[in-house]
Structure 1
């Protein structure tokens, strides 16, 4: 039920998009890769992850042919509004600012942001005196970026990254003192490495994560909400969730 293409090569899909706006027999869904465990590629190059598998199940429920598009995070909303794809299913937190530009589905998961650092670095994100001058990594344009900018922008030096992988590499290379990321991302990409730790307490941000669509596509939002609700009720959501997480992230 899926095909994998690169966002830059979506020109042909744009023509088809206008013709199927009502039936939604074909849906183009964008992911930012890598963002493990939500979306990433296996060593064999296969796109997978919690949201990818959930999207596959959702498309099966909708009886829709879905094309999966890889799109860098900072181009997500512009790409959606430019009709390069029809939906974003890539850990996009629902915020009032984003809701002014896109139409969100009902939230389908919520995880907190969390702080991670090397074990040999003294970092306490609850102590602003201790954080003064520290170099903190965030992924550009995320709710974690907004949180650190608003609460610590005049205290720490913020380095913004296009991908979570690049941020983790700089943390490992001692070019960052700490990072603030989705807890599951830190759990699986940082805590699995020797010499790293979680610091401080997790922080709940936003209203959960939703599928983002163009404001005019209310018919698509209705279909997606119904499909996700069905997957939650019939156990499919839990089966996929339990494959990637040892705790409940369901809204």
Structure 2
């Protein structure tokens, strides 16, 4: 008897979920690590023309070099990154994921490569704090900790979530929302690049640690990433990359 389509689908899901992640030795034998990012979150990861660039891209390239492997990059929507990691479609994700208890149940996080948080951005100087968001429409990115934390606030008129953080920014600039909650360094870059837009940075809504993610339990790869990151922080490479993109050292203190 032929298995039904539903049974076949279930078998494929089971096989995908039980697949073994590539260890550090596997990756070194292959000579290449597959890293996924979003490519739409400047200045951390974004496309400049056809070229993927940004703070996290430079940092990942430096870590891979220290590990002795090349990178095969994948860029796709933010909310698909961790799911693809669990299905072994790539080895590592670096896309400004904040470490949360819920995410830690699904993936293994490395040591944080920077600390930041979500801040209020608005064109209205009267909207600066989380309390000022009462009765307002706020833009946040789908699947992000910004959405998670803004959704906990009470009294908001509406929370509008968009696939890309740049869509949130456009919604604010075009007057479709009253405020945008995003990473403080993203806001800093947005204000610097679009002075005529009249955007203003406000206070923190929350603070978080940002890290790379590997498949749950892939200890050898997580340890290698941690060691590479520590080496870059010790030899000055991390600070140079950070100052290139942020004009400051953004490591966790």
Q: TM-score, normalised by structure 1?
A: 0.85
1: distance between equivalents of 2:129 and 2:246? 25
Secondary structure in 2 matching 1:200: strand
Secondary structure in 2 matching 1:37: coil
Aligned ranges 1:171-182 → 2 under 5 Å: 171-182=172-183
Which of these residues, 33, 37, 41, is aligned with residue 35 of structure 1? 41
- Please name the residue that 1:170 is paired with: 171
Name the structure with the higher strand share. Answer: 2
Cα pair 2:172 2:180 within 8 Å, conserved:
yes
1: distance between equivalents of 2:160 and 2:22? 41
Q: Residue 19 of structure 1: CA displacement?
A: 9.1
Name the structure with the higher helix share. Answer: 2
Q: How many residues align?
A: 230
Does residue 116 (structure 1) correspond to residue 117 (structure 2)? The answer is no
- Please name the residue that 2:60 is paired with: 55
1: distance between equivalents of 2:158 and 2:192? 23
Unmatched segments (≥5 aa) in structure 2: 1-15
Instruction: Name the Cα RMSD after superposition.
Output: 2.0
Which of these residues, 119, 139, 145, is aligned with residue 137 of structure 1? 139
2: distance between equivalents of 1:42 and 1:142? 23
Which of these residues, 198, 201, 205, is aligned with residue 200 of structure 2? 198
2: distance between equivalents of 1:124 and 1:224? 37
Unmatched segments (≥5 aa) in structure 1: 1-13
Cα pair 1:114 1:203 within 8 Å, conserved:
yes
Larger Rg: 2
